[in-house]
Amino acid sequence: MIKLSKPYIPEETYEKVIDVLKSGLLVQGKYVEQFENELKKYLGIEHVVLVSSGTAALHLALISLGIKEGDEVIVPAFTYPATANVVELVGAKPVLVDITLDDFCINVELIEGAITPKTKAIMPVHEFGQSADIDGIMKLAEKHGLFVVEDAACALGTEFNNKKCGTFGHIGCFSLHPRKAITTGEGGVIVTNNLNIAEKLKAYRNHGIQYNEKGMDFTYAGFNYRLTEIQAVIGIEQLKILDELIEKRIQIAKMYDDLFSDISWINTPNIFAERKMVYQTYHILVDEVINRDDLIIHLKMNDIETNYGAQALNCLTYYRNKYNLHDEDFPNAYKSYKKGLALPLGHYLDINAILQIQKTMKDYK
């Protein structure tokens, strides 16, 4: 079976994990701090706070900005549900905006029409490792006095105009889930250039603890969103070769692009001159005449694992029922959900695997 995704763990990692286990110091210690410092250098950001998941990162980002009941947060209609779920969890309302089919990211031209007096933040998603039009989003946010929380879960290493995504907004959030370029099993990263926000984030991830001249105090009703030392050493070793892993993904994407160029019913990802895409997912759209779900079965029967890339939130039971949403409300999100397909991608693939995938796709129709 050609797997959809497979994490790469360098050999050097295993011995370091054993050392941590032998030390008995397993939770948020020197290796978490080291990993945070290495991520600061990589991203060119002032503050990094590691947490237990990408969802935890988004959750704490909204809490630290004071987003609460009665507020509204603009999110793309096509994304993993965690983006909108965290807005619900703080009591606010996620306001959906359709995407473009060019990049599968939020359509900046539609954002202003969704802004109301209750809007407090925009949460763009750099979907599949492709940068959203973050420059346009930041200009809109400045015009209307809104926070920007970048959901860069898929986009560690992604760039817009040679600047790392996740570092444009007030807060950026990344995921370290196994389908990402580097993984700690579960894990998340929050970044910001604002010291006050960073201090809140550090407290909230650790039960609300802050330290002062009198010692430890509980200044917030916080969470246990800490990362372990075991996860940190796994992440440190992968971060050393992240650029190499990304380059491999770019090379595989180029193979796909070339090999699919003569299959008329496949629409491959677009390339933008001002953006560096890290291809967390190689996501294609198939034509209307193609039954995407049947294609998934066809590929599975030929030992190729695939899946749809993300969800149209308006099609999910919770959001459809609560906000009385319909398929046609966000046509591009709906099309991407129903006609999108994520193909295998990662360091473990070679040209023979890519050729097998191409042949199986060709044989379908």
Given the residues 164, 180, 276, 339, the one annotated as active site: 180
Task: State which H helix or E strand residue 31 sits in.
Answer: helix 30-43
pLDDT given at position 101: 98
DSSP class per residue in 153-213: TT-TT-EETTEETTSSSSEEEEE--TTSSS--SS-EEEEES-HHHHHHHHHHHBTTEEEET
Q: What angle do CA 156, 350, 233 make, to 5 degrees?
A: 40
Q: What's phi and psi for 140, nearest 5 deg? A: -65, -40
Judge if 36 and 83 occupy the same domain: yes
Q: Which of 297, 272, 265, 269 is nearest to 284 (CA)?
A: 269
**What pLDDT shows up at residue 214?**
81
- Claim to verify: residue 212 and residue 246 sit in the same structural domain: no
180 is catalytic: yes
Same domain flag for 79 and 53: yes
pLDDT recorded at residue 274: 97
- Determine the Cα–Cα distance for residues 148 and 318; give it in Å rounded to an integer: 25
Do residues 227 and 273 share a domain? Answer: no
Ranges in the chain, pLDDT < 50 = none
What is the largest distance, in Å, between two alpha-carbon atoms of the chain? Answer: 72
* Phi, psi (rounded to 5 degrees) for 137: -65, -45
157 shares its domain with 270: no
Distances from the Cα of 327 to the Cαs of 226, 254, 312, 337, in angstroms?
A: 38, 33, 9, 10
pLDDT for 212: 85
End-to-end Cα distance, the chain: 22
Identify whether 1 is part of a domain.
Answer: no
The sign one gets for the Cα dihedral 39, 40, 43, 47 is positive
pLDDT attached to residue 213: 81
Which residues span the domain enclosing 168?
A: 12-98+105-239
* pTM over the 0.75 mark: yes
Domain endpoint, select from 223, 239, 255: 239
Residue type, 184: T
132 and 195: one domain?
Answer: yes
Give ∠ CA 259-260-265 in degrees, rounded to 5: 165
269 and 158: one domain? Answer: no
Q: Examine the fold and report which residue of 203, 220, 239 is the final residue of a domain before the chain moves on.
A: 239
Q: Is residue 6 situated within a structural domain?
A: no
Give the pLDDT of residue 279.
98
In angstroms, the CA 100 to CA 246 distance is: 24
233, 306: one domain: no
Number of domains in the chain: 2
Question: Among the three residues 239, 266, 295, which one is the final residue of a domain in this structure?
Answer: 239
Helices 229-239 + 12-23 axis angle, to 10: 160
